[in-house]
Each structure stands twice: as C-alpha cells, then as structure tokens.
Amino acid sequence: MGKSLLILGAQWGDEGKGKITNYFSTKADVVVRYQGGNNAGHTIVFDGKKYALRLLPSGIFDENICCVMGNGMVINPRALIEELEEIKKAGFSTHHLFISDRSHVLFDHHIELDRLNEEHLKDKKIGTTKKGIGPCYTDKTSRIGMRMCDFISDEFPNLYKELLERKNQEITFLGGTPIDYESTVKEYMILAQKISPMVCDTIALLKEARKQNKNILFEGAQGALLDIDFGSYPYVTSSSLTSGGALSGSGIGLHGIDEVLGIVKAYQTRVGEGAFPSELHNEIGDYIREKGHEYGTVTHRPRRIGYLDLVALKYSIQVNGITAICLTLLDVLQGLDELKICTSYTYKNKILNTLPASNQVFKECIPNYVTLEGFKEDISQVKSFDELPLQAQKYIEFIEKEVETPIVLFSVGPDKYQTIVRKEIF
C-alpha cells in the first residue's frame, strides 16, 4: 500500500514547510500543492544552493516526482511561467508538472483589486501579499471566476472580455486603473498556450496514483492560523489551509491521507496585521529575527516575532487532526538565557485555554508563560536528539507533553541535511 503524508503549517505560515516537503520528497512519487497561490514562499536549501518556490510544489527538483498543482489553487499564469523559467535556468526539468483543469486563474485585475481593497481598509488593512489572492478566491466563490480549463480553451478571449468588463467596473468604482483588454488578452493567450500541455484532470491522476500504490505528499501553504474558517479572521488569507482543504483542494477523498505532519517553528512569527498575543517588541524579538533571517520570502517584510504559543498550537492540532509534529528553526533559539512558552491567555481576569473567535478579544489576550532554561551551544550540526543540550531536549519534551502529540523530527538549520528524525513516519 502506498503511503500519504500531509505536511502543513500549524502557525501563521513560514514554518519551514518547503524544506520539510523537499526533505520527504526523496521518498515520494507525487507531491501535491492544494491551495493558495504565489502568496506562498517556500525556501529550500540543498547542495549549497537556495531556491524560493511560490507556486511550484517542493518536489519539482526531482524529475521522477509527479508534481501536482491541485484544483484548490489560484494560479497567476505569468508568475507560473516566470517561476518555471527560473527553475529551468537553474538546470532542472519541469516536464513532470501537472496543473488541475479545475484550478482558478489569477489575473491582473485581481492584483489591482487586492491593492484597492487594502487601500480602502486604511488602518484596518489585512497586510496581504498584494498578489491578488483574496479577489481571485472571491470570484471563485461568487461563481464568476475562470478555471484553467476555460483559460486554455478557444472560448478564452470572449470569456475574458465579459469578465474584465465586469471587473473593470469594480476597479473604476474603487478609484483604480482599469485593465486594458487588447493588450492583456494577447499576453494571456500566449501564456495559455505555454501552460496548456501541463493542464489535465489531476483528480483522475491522483486516483491512478493511489491505485498504483504510489507515495503521495501533500504540501500546504500558509498556516492554520491564517485559514479562512479557523484563522484569526479577518486577518487571514482566503483559502482552506487545513486538512479539510487538502481534501477539497486535491480531490483525494476522505481516506486518502494517512498522517498529518504539523510544521511548527520553535517560536512564533507572523507577517501582516492581526492579533499576536505572545509578540515580542524587544531585543529578544530582534535577536530572533536576525538570527532566523525572519524576513518575508515573497514581500521581504520583516516578520513579527514572538514566543511559542501552545494555546494556538493545540487549536491547530485539533482543527487539522495533526498526528505528528516537526519542530523547525530550533537552532535560532540558541544563546537566549531563558525560553518562554505561552500556555494560556488571560482575558479580562479570566484564563482562556483556547483561541477566541473575536478579533477584538484575541487582541486583548495577555499571554501566560512557563519559563524554561535556554541553551548556549551551537546545535546546527547535531545528528540526534541525544546530542542536543539538555535544555533543548527539555524544550522539545515540554512541548510534546503539553500538546499530547509526538515531535517526530526537528530541524536545526535551513539545509536539507540539518534535519533529525526521531521516528520514521513516511
């Protein structure tokens, strides 16, 4: 029987999903992205080189792996072709990429609307990546979006004209610059021609892969706390990032996933706006930001930094059905005298052990911490759990006991080899 593993972010994104997906991809036959678009930025380091993927699944570097962009994704055709060109230039083949005919196409008008929506929200802005993600998913749920099957069809120019007329009205209403049909339709038709050979029924492809007992990896983008249903709404992205989203965004079916691996950074980060109870506005936060190079892969914005939040993590484990954890960036905590972990919140003198729905309440939550001893030693070259300083071992053990989920592997540096497995899961 083939195995399937879902890898997803358990925090606010940038947990190291790309690195860990690529690590496991050596054992995979298929790697599937199932939601989001080029708002994602997944960094992969191997053989001394660094790659940043936005749309492509993290198995793209091995031509024997079938890479799937699932129906739940929103795909900017220009960004896709640019990314494919970059990968080809770096010496990798891309003929093993398959794009769902049901995925949605992200156009320039979505990007313009993203910019305008943010502008109109003023101090309530979400802090999006401005890649047009929200407006594209809005069109999908409004049932006026364009799917890949239509984008590559002969009908495209007419469908696009109709769509753009409607969208340009919105753009004009919001005070933006309408998108010119004549110039953009030509470019999109060229892009559609390039993309067309990669488009297929990926649901049938996955069915066949299951039938042939292939090993399948699902690669989430963003993180559970940015999920449209479960995240810190409205400061979220617009897709389903959780394990439910992996099913609906790929068509694998309820029993198609064996294990759910939650990727958890050893501390907490967030890009964009929204509540963040354990956020650090001091030199410890700055220390972590610099040591962990915590600047956005897509937007290069400095990431907000905080202590690990177990209230949020427990919630993530629950809504995703996480069965195992990978703890990443543990090396970044080296050199801190003490390591704090948030275990509950206080809101108006009451203790909260779960995430509040209301953004207003979440904003006013005060974190309660447990303090553990820090570690001084460089751990970037350790090869086993036993080689870790005792304090780092205790940090790991404390987390897994609190969240009642095993930490089956941990990561001590960006490179693929800096990954230590405690228990095989795939």
Within 318-377, the residues that bind ligand GDP by CB under 6 A are: 328-329, 331-332
Instruction: Fill in the per-residue mask, 38 to 77: x = in contact with ligand GDP (CB under 6 A), - = not in contact.
Output: ---xxx-x--------------------------------
Amino acid letter, residue 246:
A
Between 110 and 149, how does the x/- string for binding to ligand GDP read (CB under 6 A)?
----------------------------------------
- Binding to Mg ion, residues 290-319 (CB under 5 A): 297
Footprint of ligand IMO (CB under 6 A): 9, 13-14, 39-42, 126-129, 131, 133-134, 221-223, 226, 237-238, 271-272, 297
Site for ligand GDP in 396-425 (CB under 6 A): 411-414
CB of 20 to ligand GDP, least distance (A): 8
Chain positions 5 to 24 lying near ligand GDP, rule: CB under 6 A, are 9, 13-19
Q: Smallest distance from the beta carbon of 391 to ligand IMO, in angstroms?
A: 28
Nearer to ligand GDP, 209 or 412 (CB): 412
Q: What is the 3-state secondary structure (H, E, C) of the chain?
A: CCCEEEEEECCCCCCCHHHHHHHHHCCCCEEEECCECCCCCEEEEECCEEEEECCCCCCCCCCCCEEEECCCEEECHHHHHHHHHHHHHCCCCCCCEEEECCCEECCHHHHHHHHHHHHHHHHHCCCCCCCCHHHHHHHHHCCCCCEHHHHCCCCHHHHHHHHHHHHHHHHHHCCCCCCCHHHHHHHHHHHHHHHHHHEECHHHHHHHHHHCCCCEEEEEEEEHHHCCCCCCCCCCCCCCCCHHHHHHCCCCCCCCCCEEEEEEECCEEECCCCCCCCECCCHHHHHHHHHCCCECCCCCCECEEECEEHHHHHHHHHHHCCCEEEEECHHHHCCCCEEEEEEEEEECCEEECCCCCCHHHHHCCEEEEEEEECCCCCCCCCCCHHHCCHHHHHHHHHHHHHHCCCEEEEECCCECCCEEECCCCC
Which partner in ligand IMO, Mg ion, ligand GDP, none is near 311 (CB below 5 to 8 A by kind)? none
Among ligand IMO, Mg ion, ligand GDP, none, what does residue 292 contact (CB within 5–8 Å per kind)? ligand GDP
CA distance 297 to 17: 13
45 touches, from ligand GDP, Mg ion, ligand IMO, none (C-beta below 5 to 8 Å by class): ligand GDP
> Given the complex with ligand IMO, which of 248 and 344 has the nearer CB atom?
248
Instruction: Pick one of Mg ion, ligand IMO, ligand GDP, none as the site partner of residue 35 (Cβ within 5 to 8 A by kind).
Output: none
Q: List residues with catalytic annotation.
A: 14, 42
Is the CB of residue 107 less than 8 Å from the CB of residue 148? Answer: no
73 binds, among ligand IMO, ligand GDP, Mg ion, none (CB under 5 to 8 A by kind): none
CB nearer to ligand GDP: give 151 or 410: 410
Pick the closer one to ligand GDP by CB: 8 or 116. 8
Query: Which residues in the 4-43 window bind Mg ion by CB under 5 A?
Result: 14, 41
- What residue ranges bind ligand GDP (CB under 6 A)? 9, 13-19, 41-43, 45, 292-293, 297, 328-329, 331-332, 411-414
- What residue ranges bind Mg ion (CB under 5 A)? 14, 41, 297
